[in-house]
Amino acid sequence: MTNQRFATGFFLSRPRAAALALVLALPLMGAQAQGLRPSGSLQRAVPAASTGASAQRTADFIVAVVNSEPITNNELRAKLLRTEQQLLQQGTAVPPRSELVPQLIERMISDKAQLQMARASGLRVEDSAVDAAVESIARQNQLSVDELRRRLQADGIDYNQFRSELRDELLVTRLRQREVESRVTVSEQEIDQFLRDQQGSAGAGADLSAMALNLAEILVAVPENATPAQVAALQAKAQQVLERARGGADFAALANEFSSAPSRSNGGQMGLRTADRYPPLFVEATQSLRAGGLAGPVRSAAGFHILKVVEKRQAGAPDAVITQTRARHILLRPTPPLSEAAAIEKLAGFKKRILAGQADFAALARESSQDGSAKEGGDLGWANPGMFVPEFEKVMNSLSPNQISDPLVSRFGVHLLQVLERRETQLSAREQRDIARNMLREKKQQEAYVTWVQDVRGRAYVEFRDAPQ
């Protein structure tokens, strides 16, 4: 399923990130970053790292107790290592442990208090829901479930523990939906005011807090223990790549050739999102640039980044006139009998048959596609920008009407894609109001969630024990 409207099953919630997201290096979402901010509620200082005899202590011990349930030193260390790994992979500077450890303890206290409330509420998560969540995470990482299990094992993560953490995440998500999201409403007066505000700010100076950005990056990675000479050589390499981009070389091709970032398969693009969901150093480096501008090399703990502004606009209602695309596709989901390579080969064969006039795209879609659109000959209907996942939409946007793509891999499987037609369309007043309503609801839900989390944390009994090591 390429269409985000049809995506079902588990997805990592913005407000609460499970440890599994850190393990699998899924994109760091805005609220995850918020969860790492100091809360100011930790009462004792925590050392950056223990030395001497105490550092030799091997037995686990309790760091804090939350309503009679412990948080152990081993749990905290595992969380710390995964968090540091995730921040490095995202190109975000890793705070000193003297800052990060207290934040993680506070985060774990808050998470445990929420989980306790969810369990006490009588909510349950069925095994089938956990199975669906595992399958969804595997697809998002372009893995089969068996491959996911092997990857977890290679990383030293017990699969049963992984499922247990996933069940807890689902349980808290259901509690949040019941206690927070279902109670948020948006009035017609609020929509009116939102649209007036958007119109009034159209000519105003850019406000970074309300700016939506789509940045592309090329990461020239720097090893953790690189020597100064190695760092200088890699910086020079990054500068050469930047000069090639400034000279007119295709940025996506450069990303595919040189980048070590996960976004390389998407031409380096990280997707349209509000500025606060990007690392601050990325925002600072590009804040004065227009679309198409280049910045860098920008140094982070991960290496040297070359940044390109793909799109920049105020994070409000979209333009009244948009370009819609009507496309169709054939989707094959890799399974043990059908590997990803075999699916690519099969779809490449379909393309040859279609171009030779030996087969009809719609007929092949009805016969073979594993998407809900199969019965419609793969037709996805008219789609607005941003409706599909980025890796699918990038290829779709590069095609001319009637052109057929090569097989492309997304988080949902392997696709053969054809663009049928495009059109410029004016959003109706009702469509603009629907978009405004959804944006306001998401904003109010996030604000209500923050308040709810603070309330749950405030009502929990917390006792700090031994300092972590």
- pLDDT recorded at residue 435: 78
Average pLDDT, the chain: 77
Spatial separation of the C-alpha atoms in residues 391 and 344, rounded to whole Å: 16
Tell me the backbone φ, ψ of residue 343, rounded to 5 degrees.
Answer: -65, -40
Cα distance between residue 265 and residue 391, in whole Å: 8
pLDDT in tens, 248-293: 888 888 888 888 887 776 778 887 777 777 888 888 888 888 888 8
pLDDT grade for 212, boundaries at 50, 70 and 90? confident
Tell me the DSSP string of 203-230.
TSPP-GGGEEEEEEEEEEE--TT--HHH
**pLDDT at site 288:** 82
Average pLDDT over residues 131-143: 76
Where is pLDDT greater, at 182 or 91?
182
CA distances from 388 to 48, 412, 435 (A): 43, 11, 16
Same fold, 19-179+452-464 and 322-426: no
Model confidence over 184-211: pLDDT tens digits? 888 999 888 887 776 654 443 445 455 6
Q: Report d(CA 405, CA 396) in Å as an integer.
A: 8
Q: Using CA atoms, how far apart are residues 330 and 361, in angstroms rounded to an integer?
A: 8
pLDDT digits (tens, 9 = 90+) for 312-353: 766 554 455 678 899 999 999 887 788 888 889 999 999 999
Nearest to 308 by CA among 320, 297, 295: 295
Q: Report residue 355's pLDDT band, with 50, 70 and 90 as the boundaries.
A: very high
Among 3.30.70.930, 3.30.70.3000, 3.30.1360.170, 3.10.50.40, name the CATH number for the domain at 203-314: 3.10.50.40
pLDDT-above-90 percentage for the chain: 17
Cα–Cα distance list, 295 to 217, 269, 279, 284, 384 (Å): 10, 14, 14, 10, 30
**DSSP class of 372:** G
- Which top CATH class is 19-179+452-464? mainly alpha
- Distance of alpha carbon 32 from alpha carbon 18, whole angstroms: 9
Cβ pair 371, 379 in contact under 8 A: no
Output the CA angle 366-372-375, nearest 5 degrees.
30
Query: Which pLDDT does position 357 carry in this prediction?
Result: 93
Question: What is the strand order of the sheet 462-464 is part of?
Answer: 69-72, 62-66, 462-464
- The mean-pLDDT minimum among 121-130, 334-343, 345-354, 450-459 falls in 334-343
pLDDT digits (tens, 9 = 90+) for 1-56: 433 332 222 223 333 333 333 233 322 222 222 222 222 222 222 333 333 334 44
pLDDT given at position 263: 76
pLDDT at 99 over 90: no
Residue 79 CB contacts under 8 Å (≥ 6 apart), including other chains: 19, 104, 108
Report pTM: 0.48
pLDDT on residue 449: 85
Judged by DSSP in three states, 353 sits in helix
Tell me the mean pLDDT in the region 72-86.
Answer: 85
Report residue 378's pLDDT band, with 50, 70 and 90 as the boundaries.
very high
The answer, yes or no, to whether residue 466 has pLDDT greater than 80, is yes
What was the pLDDT predicted at 346? 93
Share of the chain above pLDDT 70, in %: 81
The helix, strand and coil proportions of the chain, stated in percent and rounded to the nearest 5, come to: 50, 20, 35
What's the pLDDT score for residue 404? 93
d(Cα 111, Cα 462) in Å, to the nearest integer? 13
Q: What is the pLDDT of residue 89?
A: 67
Q: Where in the chain are the domains?
A: 19-179+452-464, 203-314, 322-426
CA 412/CA 139 separation, integer angstroms? 6
Q: Supply the pLDDT for residue 22.
A: 29
What was the pLDDT predicted at 307? 92
- Which CATH code, of 3.20.20.70, 3.10.100.10, 1.40.20.10, 3.10.50.40, is assigned to 322-426? 3.10.50.40
Max mean pLDDT range (78-82, 174-178, 354-358): 354-358
List the beta strands (DSSP E) in 363-455: 379-383, 408-410, 413-426
Q: Is the pLDDT of residue 376 over 70?
A: yes
